[in-house]
Amino acid sequence: PDRDRAFFADPAKASLLGLATAVEEVTPIIGTELKGVQLSKLTDQQKDELALLVAERGVVFFRDQDITLEQQHALASYYGINIQSINPSTSSVSHPLLCRNIRAHGNYTAEWHGDHTFEVNPPSYTLLRLVKTPPSGGDTIFTSQTGLFDKLSPAFQRAIEGLHAIHSSDRAYLASINGGGTPHRAPIATAHPLVRTHPVTRLKSLFYNPSFIERIQELNAQESHHILAFLREHLSNADDLTARWKWTPGAVAFWDNRIIAHRAV
């Protein structure tokens, strides 16, 4: 859509929160679980309020969802479709923004990342539902990049504001080829601000992605290396800004890709 759906929400989110049998904060900083809410039954007003809640809390969780594939497609489309292709090695996909990932051993590393940040317009809201889960493991952890920025000293915040990081799809391109896929285009690289202001909350956050960032545009190689190494350590040590989600069949995570880094554990 032309405008984020969160702009149309009731700030109190009374309609959405009134549906829940319980509203539980996963941590004080990030993550909310809405119990007793079925995504398949939301009105447009409640969908808008969900967008606002996700923008404010970073990620919202649901369990035991009855939503069908078509309903999930419609819900994701309500917030705006990301038309970019998924990993070309994935097959049997009903929609370009829905994918199936069932493997005994994944062909990826559990690296911190945001989704498709090498695009000119990366995804904002991201919706993931698991139909089947492994008997153990497979959790996902989410970290607030708003919190990461807030924890920096004012001097360091000023030093990195105005810098741009180059996000490249080179590694994803090679991983696709090595996995037997056929990439639909050559690798691309896009410069994004290292610090961004969220359009809804107006809060500043890092936009840091160790999986795709190659360098900082305005710095020389050595300076870029040291800044990125510090940010990687800063992200990896942010346990107080992190929510861990244990998947169960039918569980959903709905997060704001603009302000969240996540990885598998």
Written as six digits, the tokens of 96 are 């370009």
| pLDDT number for residue 93 | 44
* Secondary structure of residue 110 in the 3-state scheme: coil
Cα distance between residue 172 and residue 228, in whole Å:
19
Residue entry with tokens 């319980």: 22
* Secondary structure of residue 81 in the 3-state scheme: coil
Residue entry with tokens 């109190």: 12
| pLDDT number for residue 101 | 52
To the nearest whole number, what is the mean pLDDT of the chain? 88
pTM: 0.88
- Please state which of the ranges 13-27, 41-55, 174-188, 233-247 shows the lowest mean pLDDT: 174-188
Cα distance between residue 86 and residue 95, in whole Å:
10
Percent of the chain with pLDDT over 90: 70
Percent of the chain with pLDDT over 70: 88
pLDDT at 104 over 70: no
CA distances from 97 to 125, 145, 149 (A): 12, 24, 30
| pLDDT number for residue 9 | 98
| pLDDT number for residue 68 | 94
**Angle between the N-to-C axes of helices 69-78 and 44-57, in degrees from 0 to 180, rounded to the nearest 10:** 70
Phi first, then psi: give them for residue 241, nearest 5 degrees: -110, 15
| pLDDT number for residue 85 | 47
Written as six digits, the tokens of 152 are 């920096």
| Cβ-based neighbours of 89, under 8 Å, separated by 6 or more | 107, 176, 179, 180, 181
Tens of pLDDT, residue by residue over 147-171, are 999 999 999 999 999 999 999 887 7
Confidence of residue 81 (pLDDT cuts 50, 70, 90): low
Separation of CA 169 from chain center: 17
| pLDDT number for residue 95 | 53
Beta bridge partners of 128: 253
Instruction: Give the chain's domains with CATH numbers.
Output: 5-264 (3.60.130.10)
| pLDDT number for residue 187 | 82
Mean pLDDT of 40-51: 98
Tens of pLDDT, residue by residue over 2-35, are 689 999 999 999 999 999 999 999 999 999 999 9
